[in-house]
């Protein structure tokens, strides 16, 4: 009897957690990722000798499964604790500062242990999934894939998952209830450090919601000159289609206003638009799956705007698909 073949669409934390669980259940897993890197919003932008964590800024573990995984990441040297000074303008955090962890040398390193043994098709965007005679077929930007799959796990933002899944089962129309906010992220390196401690600022309301000294994280330059700024959701919606360099200039000016001080000229300035950055209204389920057709979706948007929620959702979908396909559950999962 041949192995069950499963396609996982998306190589962020949810997709790789799902794929790893399925591989442990002896499935033949292929991960399709549209970009060249792994991690999704656990992202690190590299430019010449510079690197910026322009997506998720840190992770914190609350539940046992994710804490166990993060312990393994720490032992492998792919993460470290980050305890930056927090400015007075920052509000109460959802996770205590002593629980913050970051990837080494960048945030994308946090998914490295999950992806090491997986078959991952990078730079391959799945445009459509269609049922075939022997299973599900992937239509990618390069054309139709040659092999079919017994099941499909979709681990992309909810609006993108909806477009892939809605034609195949009424249950997936629930994804219309999920609301995700965009975010403009600015990566800037200054000639000299800004006149503020090498730490973190967070604001509610206004153009900026976050500013952090990226070079203050473990394994980085440590010179206080590299910063990441995140725009708030309302500003990001208003300027969603703005030119990237104009967005960067506007937010840099706002940072100067927030600090109440002039900033040194930037030696590097770039902006990235995350169209689906943060969960505002979650689905309210660990994952969503139609067992009859062995297709489902997962992501932080199922549960809450946290990296841990993506991890838990990915594992939940893997277990649901294992049940739908009659795959044995490894003892480690019981």
CATH value at residue 316? 3.50.50.60
Task: Give yes or no: residues 25 and 117 share one domain.
Answer: yes
| 123 and 241 inside one domain | no
Domain holding 242: CATH number?
A: 3.90.660.10
Range of the domain at 207: 180-280
DSSP characters over 26-67: T-EEEEE-SSSSSBTTS--EEETTEEE--S---B---SHHHH
Shared domain check, 189 and 162? no
The answer to whether residues 155 and 15 touch, using CB atoms and an 8 Å cutoff, is: yes
Least Cα distance to 186 among 236, 117, 141, 220 occurs for 236
For the chain, how many structural domains are there in total?
A: 2
Q: Could you read off the pLDDT tens digit of each residue along the chain, which spans 334 residues?
A: 679 999 999 999 999 999 999 999 999 999 999 999 999 999 999 988 899 999 999 999 999 999 999 999 999 999 999 988 886 555 455 556 668 999 999 999 999 999 999 999 999 999 999 999 999 999 999 899 889 999 999 999 999 999 999 999 999 999 999 999 999 999 999 999 999 888 899 998 889 999 999 999 998 888 989 999 999 999 999 999 999 999 999 999 999 999 999 999 999 999 999 999 999 999 999 999 999 999 999 999 999 999 999 999 999 999 999 999 998 765 444 4
My answer on whether 288 and 251 are in the same domain is: no
Strand partners, 31: 8, 120
* 158 and 228, same domain (yes or no): no
Whether residue 95 is contained in a domain is answered as: no
């Amino acid at each position: 009897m041949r192995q069950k073949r499963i396609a996982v669409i998306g190589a962020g934390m949810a997709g790789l957690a799902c794929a790893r669980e399925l591989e442990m259940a002896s499935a033949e897993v292929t991960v399709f990722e549209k970009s060249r890197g792994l991690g999704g919003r656990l992202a690190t932008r590299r430019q010449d000798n510079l690197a910026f964590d322009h997506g998720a800024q840190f992770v914190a573990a609350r539940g046992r499964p994710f804490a166990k995984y993060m312990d393994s990441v720490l032992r492998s040297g792919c993460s470290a604790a980050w305890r930056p000074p927090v400015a007075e303008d920052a509000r109460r955090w959802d996770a205590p500062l002593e629980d913050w962890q970051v990837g080494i040398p960048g945030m994308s390193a946090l998914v490295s242990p999950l992806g090491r043994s997986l078959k991952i098709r990078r730079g391959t965007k799945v445009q459509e999934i269609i049922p075939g005679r022997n299973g599900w077929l992937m239509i990618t930007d390069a054309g139709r894939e040659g092999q079919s799959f017994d099941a499909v796990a979709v681990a992309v933002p909810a609006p993108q998952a909806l477009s892939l899944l809605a034609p195949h089962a009424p249950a997936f129309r629930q994804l219309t209830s999920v609301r995700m906010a965009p975010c403009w992220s600015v990566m800037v390196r200054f000639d000299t450090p800004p006149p503020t401690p090498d730490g973190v600022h967070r604001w509610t309301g206004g153009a900026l919601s976050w500013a952090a000294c990226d070079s203050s994280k473990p394994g980085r330059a440590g010179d206080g000159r590299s910063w990441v700024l995140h725009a708030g959701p309302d500003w990001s919606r208003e300027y969603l289609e703005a030119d990237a360099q104009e967005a960067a200039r506007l937010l840099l000016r706002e940072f100067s206003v927030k600090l109440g001080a002039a900033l040194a000229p930037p030696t590097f300035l770039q902006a990235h638009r995350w169209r689906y950055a943060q969960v505002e209204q979650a689905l309210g389920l660990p994952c969503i799956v139609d067992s009859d057709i062995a297709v489902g979706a997962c992501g932080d948007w199922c549960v809450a705007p946290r990296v841990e929620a993506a991890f838990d959702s990915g594992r939940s979908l893997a277990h649901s698909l294992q049940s739908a396909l009659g795959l044995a559950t490894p003892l480690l999962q019981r």
